Amino acid sequence: MADITYRRRGEFRNDEVNEQHAAACEHQLTDDDRRNLAKRHSLDSATAPVGANLAGLQ
């Protein structure tokens, strides 16, 4: 079992979040700029990296 460290306003790559969003919402993979969206429209965020991969974004 991998250790998950939660980070407030942690960095993430667009491709990681786009893959997770497509899987969760069951749609085709897009090339959206989710980093910019999060910076403009989110009051706060948290990332959950596991090693070099992103396990989650809230």
Question: How many domains, in total, are found in the chain?
Answer: 1
Q: Flag whether 31 is in a domain.
A: yes
pLDDT of 27 = 94
Q: Flag whether 46 is in a domain.
A: yes
Per-residue pLDDT reduced to its tens digit, 5-47:
888 888 889 999 899 999 999 999 999 998 898 888 888 888 8
Q: Is the pLDDT of residue 1 over 70?
A: no
pLDDT of 26 = 95
State the average pLDDT over residues 49-55. 83
Q: Flag whether 1 is in a domain.
A: no
Q: Flag whether 2 is in a domain.
A: no
Among candidate residues 3, 1, 39, the one with its CA nearest the CA of residue 17:
39
Which domain, by its residues, includes 18? 7-57
Q: Flag whether 30 is in a domain.
A: yes
- What tokens does 42 get? 């989110």
pLDDT of 15 = 92
Q: Flag whether 11 is in a domain.
A: yes
SS3 46: strand
